Amino acid sequence: MANSLSESLFARALQLIPGGVNSPVRAFRSVGGTPFFTKAARGATLITADDRELIDFVCTWGPAIHGHNHLRIKAAIAAALENGTSFGTPNPYEVEMAELIVRFVPSIKKVRMCNSGTEATMSAIRLARGFTKRDKIIKFAGCYHGHSDSLLIKAGSGALTHGNPDSAGVPVGVAQDTVVLPYNDCAALDAGFAANPGQIACVILEPFCGNVGFIMPDAGYLAYVREACTRHGALLIFDEVMTGFRIAKGGVQEREKIVPDLTCLGKIIGGGLPVGAFGGRADIMDHLAPLGPVYQAGTLSGNPLAMAAGIAGLRLLEEGNPYARLDTLGRQLRDAVLAACRAKGLPVQVPQCGSMFSIFFTATPVRDYATALTGDAKLFGRFFHACLAGGVYLAPSAYEAGFLSTAHEGAAIDRACEVFTKSIREL
Ligand code: HOZ
């Protein structure tokens, strides 16, 4: 049988692009098979190079909360494009974006735009170190904060999926300044601070983890982390690259009523174009160049096309307030998976909040990296392929979150529930 277009594109890609992909999470290595190529995307649907239509629960790894190619976002990009693609000077969109972010996320008094979530977390950590004049940081096993050196230790996402949570190439001298602790463990946090007195610049975490699958904190955990940081003079950094504008308009911090010192953002604020941002207390942010001694920069930071797309996306969230609706859709999916697994006698955990969810095939409640690893990744791979055959695309990894968009309403969710149910029945 002739190769599909995706297979021949992948064969060509393998010759020139390491692993055939420009980001490891796109490879199918942990679930097996060949990744499909996408030639277009609309609403809740991806259209593959071979003209298959797939209901998409990856949503470009988070940004597409309004679905793909939303008309308002497209129009905003087109209007901005009329005036140019990049100026290398301040532009009016940046001011509007900053005003929107500060309005949506009240802990952010000042904000700096950059080009990716990786840049946001890397820069926030440098800023925390410069502000506190301390070197060490605390991160949590399974939390993934992009691919800068000091954060690629016990990392989640593709690093975990492909078996390299401690990436090669990170100097020992860098790694020793990163203290890694289990998430959801207050005693471990106390011990981490006690073992490094007066040395911890910041604690960085995904307040709801989205890169080791989706995991939520125990009641009171985030408040405990906040209080411990204050007590030890360390800054609290929330990485809300995934959860910002998604779990609530103001992110997890709004939902859980926690005020971090700094927040990292990305994904949704770019409306599907490359973007990142970090912001927080004004006295901390004013340590950034050109006001202060902490250097951070970017040729394309605040890019007018990305800003225009992001502004349109944020305005849609403000007008539509879709959060209750998204949660209803998320519950519908979760309940379908739970019911199908119950009928088959298959142990499963389906953490879900709003438009984020995960499916772990395990009897153990999943609350950290260690319990996430109890999930049956081989079984997940079979489930993934059964869903794909049925026209539903989940992230090709047992350790990634699923995302919903407002475009999933109605038929797409009903169809996905049917496919989940059938796939589980046939496992
Ligand atoms: N945080 C995303 C996946 N967990 C990033 C996507 C990527 O690495 O390409």
CB burial of 28-41 (b: ≥16 within 10 Å; e: otherwise) equals bbbbeebbbbbeeb
Answer whether residue 1 shows pLDDT above 60: no
Q: Is the CB of 214 under 6 A from ligand 1?
A: no
* Ligand 1 centroid from CA 190, angstroms: 30
User: What was the pLDDT predicted at 403?
Assistant: 98
Please state, in angstroms and as integers, the Cα–Cα distance from residue 70 to each residue in 75, 82, 216, 258, 272, following that order. 9, 19, 30, 32, 10
Residue 245 CB contacts under 8 Å (≥ 6 apart), including other chains: 65, 104, 251, 265, 268, 269, 313, 314, 317
User: What was the pLDDT predicted at 2?
Assistant: 65
The pLDDT > 90 percentage for the chain reads: 97
| pLDDT tens digits, one per residue of 35-54 | 999 999 999 999 999 999 99
Q: Three-state DSSP class for 109?
A: coil
User: What was the pLDDT predicted at 391?
Assistant: 98
| pLDDT tens digits, one per residue of 163-183 | 888 999 999 999 999 999 999
Domains of the chain: 5-65+322-425 (3.90.1150.10), 71-320 (3.40.640.10)
Q: Is the CB of 206 under 6 A from ligand 1?
A: no
Rounded-to-integer distance, Cα 43 and Cα 103, Å: 27
Strands 53-56 and 356-357: unpaired
Query: Catalytic site residues?
Result: 144, 239, 267
| pLDDT tens digits, one per residue of 74-91 | 999 999 999 999 999 999
pLDDT category of residue 3 using cuts at 50, 70 and 90: confident
| pLDDT tens digits, one per residue of 268-302 | 999 999 999 999 999 999 999 999 999 999 999 99
Which strands form 352-353's sheet, in the order they lie side by side? 352-353, 356-357, 402-403
| pLDDT tens digits, one per residue of 356-378 | 999 999 999 999 999 999 999 99
Q: Is the CB of 400 under 6 A from ligand 1?
A: yes
CB burial of 251-290 (b: ≥16 within 10 Å; e: otherwise) equals bbbbbbebebbbbbbbbbbbbbbbbbbbbbbeebbebbee
User: What was the pLDDT predicted at 345?
Assistant: 98
* CA-nearest residue, atom 6 of ligand 1: 61
User: What was the pLDDT predicted at 384?
Assistant: 98
Which atom of ligand 1 is the closest one to the Cα of 241? 1
| pLDDT tens digits, one per residue of 14-31 | 999 999 999 999 999 999
Average pLDDT over residues 317-323: 97
Six token digits for residue 296: 């951070």
User: What was the pLDDT predicted at 164?
Assistant: 87
The dihedral through the CA atoms of 54, 55, 61, 64 has a sign that is positive
The closest alpha carbon to 162, from 34, 58, 29, 60, belongs to 29
Single-letter residue type at 101 = I
Q: What mean pLDDT, rounded, does the chain reach?
A: 97
* Ligand 1 centroid from CA 157, angstroms: 6
| pLDDT tens digits, one per residue of 214-268 | 999 999 999 999 999 999 999 999 999 999 999 999 999 999 999 999 999 999 9
